[in-house]
């Protein structure tokens, strides 16, 4: 039996603009994880994928020809072919995840990363983070149509990532730990639809949106520098400005704006929506003194779930040490 895990992710700054060639910064969220287990199966079974969280049991051998392949099937097929193996291997792959779906936390990429690593490791192959990221990106195209590439990248590397689509990817270390509170609106954020709406708006008013994207890109540059130097005050101010620009792009929502305002009033250094918007999550940068108050305030203001996570100076892919179906928790639990 082989087990592999992958974290969630959150975009700190740069969403939407990253699709148009501007930089973005994303960080891993290790308090939520996807887990994949691979076991040898009896001869003739083929590959069975069981995802109880989704109520799915899939068989590569028995897939109906006229049914579009599920992303999990694409993930397994892709890694087996990459390894030079047959898709008729006899395997049982069990998948579970505590990464909320359609909330901007990279649930699809986390599951694909865990499955990709688990299958490769089962055949005694250690894929590089670059290889894993590339394989998962192909699956992301099914989820999001025109993905930025940031989800698969930050999750595969499990480090803060400075990313420019089609140009370069740079992982980096923070000079000082970032303490983030993530508030879930409880409203699904369909990435494909929101990205498509922004594209339509850009096509109608290119000059205005190019200016917005430029300003968001400049924020990402400043935030990376501030993170590396440990200047959390600047990171917070830039998060606030990024949220205002996302509001101008019409991707926020009354609930997101309300949660951002609540976090700021309770002392957050900065707060903004994260991900596609119109639902999903917001994030707040907090200090040790304000963390608990911000968490309680967000829960009272309507957040369905509140997670605390830390981005530490030394990060990287971690081992999945234990198998558990219980939700991942922070040191003081999940609100």
- The Cα–Cα gap between 180 and 316 comes to 18
- The Cα–Cα gap between 9 and 70 comes to 22
Give me the phi and psi of 225, to 5 degrees please.
-60, -40
Q: Nearest-CA neighbor of 155 among 120, 108, 123, 195? A: 108
| In the block, residue with structure tokens 């983070």 | 129
- The Cα–Cα gap between 162 and 140 comes to 19
Q: Are 104 and 36 in contact (CB under 8 A)?
A: no
Q: Are 136 and 156 in contact (CB under 8 A)?
A: yes
How does DSSP classify residue 315?
A: -
- The Cα–Cα gap between 275 and 261 comes to 18
Active-site annotation holds for 231: no
| In the block, residue with structure tokens 């558990």 | 324
| In the block, residue with structure tokens 């270390």 | 173
Per DSSP, the chain holds a count of helices (H) and strands (E) of 9, 11
Name the strands in the sheet holding 281-286, side by side, starting at the edge strand that comes first in the sequence. 270-274, 281-286, 178-184, 305-311
- The Cα–Cα gap between 313 and 183 comes to 23
Residue among 151, 222, 240, 292 flagged as catalytic:
151
Q: Are 58 and 48 in contact (CB under 8 A)?
A: yes
Catalytic residues: 151
């Amino acid at each position: 039996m082989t087990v592999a895990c992958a974290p969630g992710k959150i975009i700190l700054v740069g969403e939407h603009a990253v699709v148009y060639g501007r930089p973005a910064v994303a960080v891993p969220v290790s308090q939520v994880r996807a887990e994949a287990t691979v076991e040898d199966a009896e001869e003739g079974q083929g590959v069975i994928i069981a995802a109880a969280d989704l109520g799915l049991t899939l068989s590569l051998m028995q897939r109906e020809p006229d049914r579009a392949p599920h992303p999990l099937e694409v993930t397994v097929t892709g890694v087996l072919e990459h390894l030079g193996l047959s898709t008729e291997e006899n395997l049982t792959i069990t998948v579970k995840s505590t990464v909320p779906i359609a909330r901007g936390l990279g649930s699809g990429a986390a599951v694909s990363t865990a499955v990709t690593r688990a299958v490769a490791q089962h055949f005694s192959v250690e894929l590089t983070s670059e290889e894993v990221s590339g394989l998962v990106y192909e699956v992301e195209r099914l989820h999001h149509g025109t993905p930025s590439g940031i989800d698969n990248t930050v999750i595969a590397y499990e480090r803060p990532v400075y990313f420019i689509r089609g140009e370069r990817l740079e992982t980096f270390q923070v000079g000082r730990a970032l303490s983030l509170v993530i508030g879930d609106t409880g409203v699904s954020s369909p990435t494909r639809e929101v990205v498509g709406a922004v594209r339509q708006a850009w096509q109608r008013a290119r000059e205005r949106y190019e200016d917005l994207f430029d300003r968001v890109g400049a924020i990402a540059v400043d935030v990376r520098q501030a993170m590396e130097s440990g200047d959390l005050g600047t990171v917070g101010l830039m998060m606030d400005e990024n949220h205002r620009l996302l509001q101008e792009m019409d991707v926020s929502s009354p609930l997101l704006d309300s949660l951002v305002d609540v976090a700021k009033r309770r002392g957050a250094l900065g707060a903004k929506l994260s991900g596609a918007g119109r639902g999903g999550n917001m994030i707040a940068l907090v200090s040790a003194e304000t963390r608990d108050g911000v968490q309680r305030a967000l829960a009272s203001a309507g957040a369905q779930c509140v997670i605390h996570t830390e981005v530490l100076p030394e990060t990287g892919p971690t081992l999945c040490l234990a198998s558990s179906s219980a939700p991942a928790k922070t040191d003081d639990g999940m609100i």
